[in-house]
Structure 1
């Protein structure tokens, strides 16, 4: 995972920033051959909110499981269904413009049908 240091007063196009996809661990892949990439952009906050990371995450088509961090994200492009394994919640269909909140420790299964790119705050 490489990082881009986005300094105050700078901007970037979240839809076109280059990322470096890597194969997911075999144990997390349910179907297909998905890859994922994370590009941290900045660490923000102060006091008890210090260390909040903002970045880009992308996953190519396929299905994989994950254990989530405490985060909120906005989908920039692509489509997926997030299945919540624990706690059990209704499946969530996401696409451009979707805003989603995840909690630390949630067990999920991501089925990506179009390469998904999101901006996250975690």
Structure 2
């Protein structure tokens, strides 16, 4: 397992990830898979890499900030007051604990998250 500790670095874009299918109850369309690699914690806050293959899936969000490294997706919110977000390389997004979302990934999406 690759860890990120003080004075070290990791190539988050090239980090090998082991994918698994999503629970059928979360899949909206397609056959998306996801992978997560936790790199470590700072002050009790988790840092990691997450990836999803094309398809659509619903999720209940954690309190997090992330930066997209590669791929493209649209994030729709079940709260009608929130507009959809289109994300791609370089996108910086803040999500709050408990938000209900649907992720529609059109090109395998990889992000670095802090949650």
> With structure 2 as the length reference, what TM-score do the two structures score?
0.97
What residue is the counterpart of 2:53 in the other structure? 60
> Which structure 2 residue ranges, 5 or more long, are not aligned?
none
Residue 42 (structure 1) shift: 1.0
1:106 — aligned with what?
A: 99
Shift of 1:88: 3.8
Report which of the two has the higher share of helix: 1
Partner residue in 2 for 1:41 = 39
- The number of aligned residues is 115
TM-score computed with the length of structure 1 as normaliser? 0.91
- Match of 2:22? 24
Q: Are residue 80 (structure 1) and residue 78 (structure 2) matched?
A: no
Give the corresponding residue for 2:10.
Answer: 12
Runs of 4+ with deviation above 4 angstroms: none
